[in-house]
């Protein structure tokens, strides 16, 4: 087996269970090693640490997938998939609407599989997984008998891995429309053109928590995408909901989703930039009892954290100002680089500036089908705070 030797003194993180070997930690790599294929990862004294999939083109030169001397072959892929299924089943997760495989979280680095009923959407994010696409598709077909397997590997991160964008049908035929039911709410999913793989399954539990707090409330769902939080709030008895998003396509889908749930009468949509909408709403004197705020990641890298932090702070400040006394703020942050502590601090500062007393009702993260490995903190990226806000 080709080998990757880590520089002396740089092996602590891998020993502690982190799954990545960065380029600047590599001492040498066997000349026979091939990108996308396994390498043994050794410390400077040539002791075996783990086995990973190599990619010299990436800043993450190897991604660990096992601590045994085993190949990433069909047998291992199948057993990792069963482990992923078992983890979800043991948590009582609905296997019909689920992130079945969550990359490092399931020790299948570079692979994402979402199941929307009889449609499976896959992302191959590294050469290691890209090279195994046929085996993976066969495995999915054999195990789940889907109507379609659709690839959504059109993500910017593939570039950093030396891969081009890829998208399209890999198996079967796509039902039209694709529709799922999430906790009693119907959602259409645009598998081909929607954001990410079509639906944000990571917010499922947070949407449910929000819905349980929504009765009798006037709700604003900021960055609503296809209507997730707002439509669940209506289902939970909210009097009315307004969904705001910068994407016209997302807004159209949100309207369809409200319609198929028989909730359009109480659902309003606005295509707008969050910052603009907040400013105008404040001017108009609008007030809401429940504001959900789920912006995209403002900080993809540590260096953009300062500007991202001020963006998060401004949005939260403006959201808090629109809240009625005792209203509820559901505020999310999906940037891994903003830690849970930092995000809570940003929101606390925004509340002080807005003149509000905050009570933390729930400090949530991503749904359980996006497993967190404590030794690999990048697997925990989502923060969702539910707070009540009183005027000072
Ligand atoms: N809450 C949604 C997911 C939101 S994803 C759900 O439960 O499904 C983030 C959304 O923010 C995307 O739909 C994106 O179009 C939108 N967005 C990005 N930048 C924005 C901006 N400046 N103003 C308003 N919406 C924005």
For residue range 343-386, list pLDDT tens digits in order: 999 999 999 999 999 999 999 999 999 999 999 999 999 999 99
90: CA distance to ligand 1 center in Å?
Answer: 32
Phi/psi at 321 (nearest 5 deg)?
-65, -25
Q: Tell me: the pLDDT tens digits for 117-150?
A: 999 999 999 999 999 999 999 999 999 999 999 9
- Predicted confidence at residue 302, as pLDDT, reads 80
Pairing of strands 60-66, 48-54: antiparallel
- 10 Å Cβ neighbour count for 46? 9
8: CA distance to ligand 1 center in Å?
Answer: 44
Pick out the chain residues at pLDDT < 50.
none
- Predicted confidence at residue 37, as pLDDT, reads 98
Distance, in Å, from the CA atom of 56 to the CA atom of 58, rounded to the nearest integer, reads 5
- Predicted confidence at residue 306, as pLDDT, reads 87
The verdict on pTM exceeding 0.85 is yes
Q: Is 166 exposed, middle or buried (0-12, 13-18, 19+ CB in 10 A)?
A: middle
Decide: 36 in ligand 1 pocket, CB within 6 A.
no
Decide: 294 in ligand 1 pocket, CB within 6 A.
yes
Cα atoms in the Cβ-side hemisphere of radius 13 Å centred on 45: 2
């Amino acid at each position: 087996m080709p080998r990757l030797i880590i520089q002396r003194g740089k092996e602590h993180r891998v020993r502690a269970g982190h799954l990545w070997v960065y380029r600047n930690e590599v001492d040498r790599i066997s000349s026979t090693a091939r990108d996308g294929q396994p390498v043994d990862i050794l410390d400077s004294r040539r002791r075996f640490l783990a086995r990973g999939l190599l990619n010299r083109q990436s800043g993450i030169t190897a991604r660990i997938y096992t601590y045994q001397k085993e190949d990433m072959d069909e047998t291992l892929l199948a057993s990792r998939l069963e482990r992923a299924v078992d983890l979800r089943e043991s948590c009582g997760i609905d296997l019909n609407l689920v992130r079945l495989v969550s990359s490092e979280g399931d020790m299948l680095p570079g692979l994402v599989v979402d199941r929307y009923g009889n449609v499976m959407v896959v992302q191959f994010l590294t050469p290691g997984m890209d090279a195994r696409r046929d085996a993976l598709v066969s495995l999915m077909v054999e195990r789940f008998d889907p109507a379609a397997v659709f690839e959504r590997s059109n993500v910017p991160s593939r570039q950093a891995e030396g891969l081009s964008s890829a998208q399209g049908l890999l198996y079967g035929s796509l039902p039209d429309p694709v529709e799922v039911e999430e906790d009693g709410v119907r959602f259409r999913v645009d598998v081909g053109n929607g954001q990410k793989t079509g639906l944000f399954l990571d917010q499922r539990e947070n949407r449910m928590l929000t819905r349980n707090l929504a009765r009798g409330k006037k709700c604003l769902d900021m960055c609503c995408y296809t209507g997730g939080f707002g439509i669940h709030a209506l289902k939970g008895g909210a009097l009315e909901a307004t969904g705001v998003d910068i994407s016209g396509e997302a807004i159209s889908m949100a309207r369809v989703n409200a319609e198929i749930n028989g909730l359009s009468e109480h659902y309003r949509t606005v295509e707008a930039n969050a910052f603009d909408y907040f400013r105008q709403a404040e001017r108009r004197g609008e007030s809401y009892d429940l504001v959900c705020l789920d912006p995209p990641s403002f900080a993809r890298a540590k260096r953009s954290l300062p500007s991202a932090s001020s963006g998060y702070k401004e949005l939260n400040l403006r959201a808090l100002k629109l809240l009625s006394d005792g209203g509820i703020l559901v505020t999310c942050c999906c940037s891994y680089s903003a830690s849970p502590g930092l995000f809570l601090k940003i929101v606390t500062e925004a509340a002080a500036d807005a003149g509000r007393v905050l009570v933390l009702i729930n400090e949530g993260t991503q749904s359980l089908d996006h497993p967190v490995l404590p030794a690999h903190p990048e697997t925990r990226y989502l923060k969702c705070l539910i707070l009540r806000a009183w005027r000072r």
